[in-house]
Copies of this chain bind each other. A is one copy, B any other.
Amino acid sequence: MVQQAALDRVFAALADPTRRGILVRLGESPATIGELAEPTGMTLTGMKKHVRVLEDAGLVVTEKVGRSRQCRLGAAPLDEAMAWISFYQRLWARRLDGLDAYFTMRPDPKGPSE
């Protein structure tokens, strides 16, 4: 069963280009908050907030290593988000099928056009 609150958190976490960028960066290799912040010109505090949102959604896992916090990709809770989106796409396809059927079944009063 899909946990609605978990799905809320995943979609909300993905609704920001900086956070999507962090996930792409962590797909390359784990990184500290400082390493994530540096190329963006963002403050450590600002970056920490974004990482926290991703961590709450389970998309990122962090661990204190010495004086810095190491970040890596979390355990892929995107499966449910993907399942939801593909369910919606099936709804949409069915709606289009309905329109197709409507136009196919409707006799053209002018006969076939050129």
Chain multiplicity (copies) = 2
- Judge whether A104 is part of the interface by a CB distance below 8 angstroms: no
Q: Name the prevailing secondary structure of the A interface residues.
A: helix
Complex contact B27–A4 (CB within 8 A):
no
Q: Quick one: CB contact mask for A2-14 with B, threshold 8 Å, 1 for yes?
A: 0010011101101
User: How far does the alpha carbon of A84 sit from the alpha carbon of B91 in the complex, in Å?
Assistant: 20
Complex contact B94–A27 (CB within 8 A):
yes
Closest Cβ neighbor of A23 among chain B residues: B88
Complex contact A84–B11 (CB within 8 A):
no
Some 6 contacts from A to B, beta carbons below 8 A apart, are A4-B20, A7-B15, A8-B17, A9-B15, A11-B12, A14-B85
